[in-house]
């Protein structure tokens, strides 16, 4: 809760081009929350360097991501859209919270285990303490909810534990956040290995639909999507390939799953895959057009980066000062 209004924080890493999972699991749902909540949407570039990045590429991708937030429908007048590295309170609160987090808790984080397995040559301390920085991100804005995909649930549970531990010692400092996870779209699966989530860093390009893929590429990737034995369009747990495609089609068209099964009864996988590809391409087209327009308007984007970072900095520092006082840091002399 911030200044009497419910608030929320969410963010994405600037480590690659956004994919359909990031969009359907998170970004698309953000757009609907702007009236009810004071919202903070961050490009989490501090998190990005837990994996080695090319500096020029990271800067380019961070700006591209921030532009995509707006292109996807976030109104920067209503939503605070900013770079994490422009608000130093994130790193400061993260340090304090790391002193209230146990190594046993961090050892249990499945994302750390997955990422450590992917980056065996660079298992750095930042990768390990990533969830503490994420807790700081969320708690700085006294977030009531955190809209994310299902893969982030464990990190939010840890955030709640850290906040409750801190509050138990120092009184009511932090709002305890709830994960906000949609029923459909919260875990979009790889098109090539439907038992794995769709991911930016998948080595097989056919596994992932990127938000800036052109129509032909999108349709080609869906045509090549791995499906299960059989040829019926049915939403069943033991048919993860077709289940994933039905879910994507349902969100892209707004049609109910039951109606999709009826519509495609007897029509086969080939025809259905083409329909999914076309529906996704037309859902993404307006976002791509707006993204290209915004890319030509440097001053407009620069203005948003500046004013929104100032707003985020103001609220983040309000919480940080309170925390610093509670733990016993000396007051500033003005």
Applying CB under 6 A, the span of 14-22, 79-87, 222-230, 242-250 interacting with ligand AQP comes to: 14-22
The CB-of-11 to ligand AQP minimum distance in angstroms stands at 7
Identify whether 200 is a catalytic site residue: yes
Contact between 21 and ligand AQP by CB under 6 A: the answer reads yes
148 belongs to the binding site for ligand AQP (CB under 6 A): yes
Per-residue CA distances from 123 to 11, 127, 218 (Å):
23, 7, 34
DSSP-derived 3-state class of residue 197? strand
Q: Which of 67, 85, 186, 250 binds ligand AQP (CB under 6 A)?
A: 186
- Using rule CB under 6 A, residue 13 touches ligand AQP: yes
Instruction: Verify binding: residue 152, ligand AQP, rule CB under 6 A.
Output: yes
Q: Which residue has the tokens 């100032």?
A: 310
Which one, of 287, 324, 303, 306, lies nearest residue 74 by Cα?
287
What are residue 178's DSSP bridge partners? 145
Q: How far is the CB of 149 from ligand AQP (least distance, A)?
A: 2
Q: Which of 8, 26, 72, 139 binds ligand AQP (CB under 6 A)?
A: 26
Indicate which single residue of 7, 8, 15, 273 sits in contact with ligand AQP (rule: CB under 6 A): 15
Q: Which two tokens stand for residue 145?
A: 């909810």
By CB under 6 A, name the one of 66, 158, 188, 248 that touches ligand AQP: 188
Residues contacting 144, CB < 8 A, separation 6+: 1, 6, 7, 8, 37, 175, 177, 178
* Stretch 206-235: interaction string toward ligand AQP, x if CB under 6 A: ------------------------------
Binding residue (CB under 6 A) for ligand AQP from 75, 107, 110, 201: 201
Nearer to ligand AQP, 181 or 275 (CB): 181
Q: Which x/- pattern, by CB under 6 A, does the window 253-272 give for ligand AQP?
A: --------------------
Binding-residue total with ligand AQP (CB under 6 A): 20
Give how far Cα 59 sits from Cα of 3, 13, 49, Å. Answer: 33, 12, 12
The answer to whether the CB of 208 falls within 8 A of the CB of 199 is: yes
DSSP string, 239-269: -HHHHHHHHHHHHHH---HHHHHHHTTTTHH
Three-state SS at 22: helix
Tokens of 186: 């919260």
Q: Which of the following is catalytic: 28, 115, 239, 243?
A: 115
- Min CB(84)–ligand AQP separation in Å: 12
Q: Is 243 a catalytic residue?
A: no
CB nearer ligand AQP, residue 148 or residue 158: 148
Assigned token pair, 80: 């605070």
Cβ closer to ligand AQP: 44 or 162? Answer: 44
174 bridge partner residues: none
**SS3 state at 15:** coil
Number of neighbouring beta carbons within 10 Å of residue 332: 7
Q: Are 115 and 51 within 8 A, CB to CB?
A: yes
Question: Which residues are designated catalytic?
Answer: 115, 197, 200
Give the binding site for ligand AQP (CB under 6 A): 12-13, 15, 19, 21-22, 25-26, 148-149, 151-152, 186-188, 197-201
């Amino acid at each position: 809760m911030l200044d009497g209004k419910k608030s929320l924080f969410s963010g994405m890493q600037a480590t690659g081009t956004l994919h359909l999972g990031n969009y359907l699991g998170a970004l698309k749902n953000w757009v609907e929350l702007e009236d009810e909540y004071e919202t903070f949407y961050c490009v989490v570039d501090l998190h990005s360097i837990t994996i080695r990045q090319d500096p020029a590429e990271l800067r380019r991708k961070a700006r591209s991501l921030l532009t995509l937030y707006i292109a996807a429908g976030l109104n920067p007048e209503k939503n605070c859209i900013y770079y994490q590295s422009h608000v130093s309170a994130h790193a400061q609160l993260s340090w304090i919270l790391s002193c209230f987090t146990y190594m046993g808790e961090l050892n249990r984080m499945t994302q750390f285990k997955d990422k450590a397995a992917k980056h065996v040559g660079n298992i750095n301390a930042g990768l390990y303490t990533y969830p503490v920085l994420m807790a700081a991100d969320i708690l700085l804005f006294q977030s009531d909810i955190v809209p994310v995909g299902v893969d982030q649930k464990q990190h939010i549970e840890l955030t709640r534990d850290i906040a409750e531990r801190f509050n138990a010692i120092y009184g009511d400092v932090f709002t305890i956040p709830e994960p906000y996870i949609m029923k459909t779209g919260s875990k979009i699966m790889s098109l090539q290995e439907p038992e794995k989530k769709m991911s930016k860093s998948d080595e097989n390009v056919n596994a992932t639909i990127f938000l800036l893929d052109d129509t032909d590429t999108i349709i080609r990737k869906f045509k090549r999507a791995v499906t299960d034995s059989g040829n019926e369009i049915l939403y069943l747990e033991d048919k993860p390939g077709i289940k994933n495609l039905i879910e994507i089609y349902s969100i892209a068209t707004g049609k109910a799953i039951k109606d999709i099964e009826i519509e495609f009864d007897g029509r086969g996988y080939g025809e259905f895959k083409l329909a999914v590809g076309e529906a996704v391409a037309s859902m993404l087209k307006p976002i791509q057009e707006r993204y290209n327009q915004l890319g030509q308007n440097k001053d407009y984007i620069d203005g948003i980066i500046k004013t929104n970072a100032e707003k985020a900095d103001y609220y983040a520092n309000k919480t940080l000062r309170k925390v610093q006082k509670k733990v016993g840091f000396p007051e500033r002399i003005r």
